[in-house]
Structure 1
Amino acid sequence: MTAGSTTHVTHEFGPIWDARSRVLILGSIPSPSSREAGFYYMFPHNRFWPVLAALFDQPVPGPDPAVRARFALNHCIALWDVIQECDIHGASDASITNVVPTDIAGLLDRVPIGTIFTTGRKAGQLYRRYCLPILQEKGYRSTMINLPSTSPANAAMSLADLIKAYQPIRKALDDKEPKSDRQDNHNDYDK
């Protein structure tokens, strides 16, 4: 890829989930580092894993994808992305065009997710534009909460700020009953 060029990207790894998953965390599309590693949030300076570790008062899981998958699943977290295919320049979500969404409804057919979280403004926008109409048409009523990006490009937020902003994940997991009977789209980080 030359400077200034756009690449057609296809998501080459599926969702991480099991029958215990209660929340789904969606990014936009894997970064080049994540695509290379074949797993989610693998850019070394992305703060996603330190934030999740802090939420559960656990050590940050090592860089091995299997360790990170176990960490997420042990905390009832499913991981995926909004986009199955798109055109993108590098890792710039702002450059995303020609979107084909992932089959989130197909995942929800298999696991009772109560709350869906999107990480970053663009992931939230893409979810509402491409995925939410399909989910509503199929009768899914999961709560959606948009969280700030953990990317180093979001330098305005410190690690402590991100940990605080991600507390709704912990709250959703601590709730006794999943809230899958209503659609509540919070856009706290779309401003």
Structure 2
Amino acid sequence: MGGERTESAKIGLPPVARADATLFILGSLPGDVSLSAQRYYAHPTNQFWRLVGSAVGEDLDVLSYEERLRRLADRRIGLWDVIASASRRGSLDQAIRSPAHNQVERLRHKFPELRALAFNGATAAATGRRLVGVHERLRLIDLPSSSAANTLLFAEKARVWAVLAQFVA
């Protein structure tokens, strides 16, 4: 049984946001590298920081993690995930089993200036839309996953992610 990976419980990261956040970007559940580092989008092949940077006109991927978070806060962008914990072998969303969800539906109450929720990938979108429901004040945006597992070209992803610019300071 050498090299066999077992399914294990994964617990996500806490939300990162200032009280005046106007946009939250919600992933599914951080991958193993991110969980180990306790940092959002820590895997070097994940394009998240390049995509958000492209949308807001900053080179976020060259900054330290702490500075990245500061720049997002300055732009009134929050980060979180729709899944709080789950069993999963590896890091792929398709392997998620028995998920417990974060209370993302409460974001619109805790962040009164919130204007949009952007879902990073299909799993985040399907789960997040179900949790949040319809709300006339809140725009829900489905984004192509920033994961390297999504083989869409970066330029195509960036074109879609550019919609985020209208919701940030």
TM-score > 0.5, shorter chain as reference: yes
Letter in 2 for 1:171: Q
Q: Superposed, which structure 2 residues align to 1:152-191 within 5 Å?
A: 152-155=148-151, 157-173=152-168
Give, in angstroms, the shift of residue 173 of structure 1: 3.0
Contact 1:48-1:150 at 8 Å conserved across structures? yes
Contact 2:82-2:101 at 8 Å conserved across structures? yes
Q: Give yes or no for the alignment of 1:69 onto 2:69.
A: yes
Letter in 2 for 1:153: A
Give, in angstroms, the shift of residue 63 of structure 1: 5.9
Give, in angstroms, the shift of residue 144 of structure 1: 1.1
Q: For 1:43 and 1:80, locate their aligned partners in 2 and report how far apart those are by CA, in whole Å.
A: 16
Contact 1:26-1:118 at 8 Å conserved across structures? yes
Give, in angstroms, the shift of residue 62 of structure 1: 3.9
Give, in angstroms, the shift of residue 140 of structure 1: 7.9
Letter in 1 for 2:56: F
Match in the other structure for 1:59: 59
Contact 2:55-2:163 at 8 Å conserved across structures? no
Q: Please identify runs of 4+ aligned residues in structure 1 that moved more than 4 A.
A: none
Give, in angstroms, the shift of residue 60 of structure 1: 2.5
Q: Which one has a larger percent helix, Structure 1 or Structure 2?
A: 2
Match in the other structure for 2:39: 39
Contact 1:42-1:63 at 8 Å conserved across structures? no
Q: Superposed, which structure 2 residues align to 1:74-113 within 5 Å?
A: 74-112=74-112, 113=114
Give, in angstroms, the shift of residue 4 of structure 1: 4.3
Letter in 2 for 1:117: A
Q: For 1:55 and 1:49, locate their aligned partners in 2 and report how far apart those are by CA, in whole Å.
A: 10
Q: For 1:150 and 1:127, locate their aligned partners in 2 and report how far apart those are by CA, in whole Å.
A: 17
Q: For 1:92 and 1:65, locate their aligned partners in 2 and report how far apart those are by CA, in whole Å.
A: 23
- Unpaired runs of 5+ in structure 2? none
Give, in angstroms, the shift of residue 127 of structure 1: 1.4
Match in the other structure for 1:10: 11
**What are the Cα deviations for residues 104-146 of structure 1, in whole angstroms up to 9, with x where unaligned?**
23433221211101011111112133x225xx6xx78522111
Letter in 1 for 2:32: P
Give, in angstroms, the shift of residue 41 of structure 1: 0.9
- Unpaired runs of 5+ in structure 1? 175-191
Give, in angstroms, the shift of residue 25 of structure 1: 0.4
Give, in angstroms, the shift of residue 37 of structure 1: 1.4
Identity %, equivalent residues: 25
Q: For 2:74 and 2:168, locate their aligned partners in 1 and report how far apart those are by CA, in whole Å.
A: 12
Q: Which residue of 137, 147, 150 maps to 1:151?
A: 147
Contact 1:119-1:147 at 8 Å conserved across structures? yes
Give, in angstroms, the shift of residue 99 of structure 1: 1.2
Contact 2:56-2:164 at 8 Å conserved across structures? no
Letter in 2 for 1:36: S
If asked which structure has higher relative contact order (CA below 8 Å, sep 6+), I would say 2
TM-score norm. by structure 1 comes to 0.79
